[in-house]
Homo-oligomer: A and B are copies of this chain.
C-alpha cells in the first residue's frame, strides 16, 4: 500500500457567494465540505487510480469527527491519530460571477508531545506494509520544525521510498534528511534556493539532499532532476480551470508511477496528465478521469541532455 501523512489535516469548506465585498454581509448560496489537507487529497487520487492507500496524521474535535465521517465511505483507509485539539477548517469563498476564490485558513490544533509520540509509533508500524510514503503539507502548532526530517529518516531506515511535499523551514530541514523525492512548486523552490531559474534551482535542491527534485511549474508542467537525468514534461496544450489540488495530483502521479516501477518519462507523463485533468475537473481537487486517459499519451517529455543542460 501507499501511505500518505497529513499532519495538519483540514475540513475544506467551499462557500459560493454572488461576489465577495469586504465589510458587508453575504448570504452563502451553497456550502460544500470535503476532507482536506494535501496528503488526504493525494490518497484520494491514488485510490481513484486503484492503489491501496492509508492516510495518517492527526484529527480531533468536532471538525475532526466530521472529516473522519466523510473519509469513512471513501477508499483510502483512515489511520489518523486522534488528538485533543480540534482539526482546522479552510474556507474557500468563490465568487459566482468570476469564479475567483478568497481563502481563509484556520490555524491547526496544537499537537501535544504524547500525541506526537503516539503518531511515531503508529507511523513506524504502518511503514512495515508501505511501498511508498508521502509526507505532505504544513506542520500544525506543537510539532517541531524538524519533524519531517525525522519521518524521512524513519522511512529510509525501513527502505520505504519517501516523497516530501512541504515548504519553508520544514522543507529545508526535511530535505537534509535525504528524501527520495521532493516536489516543490516554483515559489517553494525559490524560497529554498534563492533562485527563480528552475533548472538551477532544482539542481541546487538536489545538492541539499533530495535524490530527485520534481518542480511543479504550473502551466509549464514538471521539471524533474533525477539521478538518471533531467526531464521537462508539459501538457499538450494550455488548459483553463481551477488549479486547486493540481500539485497534489502530480504527487499522486509520481507515487503511482514509482510503485508501478515506471521510467521517469512515464512517471512524469502520468503526473502531468493527472494534474492537468485536475485543473479541468468541475469540482475543485477532483480529477476528470476521461481527460486523464485522453491526456496520458499526449504529454510532451523532453530530456535535457548533459551538454544542453550543463549537467
The interface of chain A, by Cβ under 8 A from chain B, is 15, 17, 20-29, 31, 62-63, 65-66, 69, 91, 93, 95, 100-107
Contact = CB atoms under 8 A, between A and B. Distances in A.
A208 B193 CA distance: 72
A93 B101 contact: no
Given A62-B65, A65-B62, A29 B104 contact: no
Given A62-B65, A91-B91, A102 B26 contact: yes
A25 B103 contact: yes
A104 B65 contact: no
Copies in the complex: 2
Contacts of A27: 105, 107
Nearest to A67: B62
Contacts of A29: 107
Nearest to A29: B107
Contact of A23 (B17, B102, B106): B102
A93 B25 CA distance: 10
A21 B27 CA distance: 18
A105 B23 contact: no
A22 B100 contact: yes
A138 to B, nearest CB: 10
A17 B102 CA distance: 13
Contact of A22 (B22, B62, B107): B22
Given A62-B62, A62-B66, A28 B102 contact: no
A23 B100 contact: yes
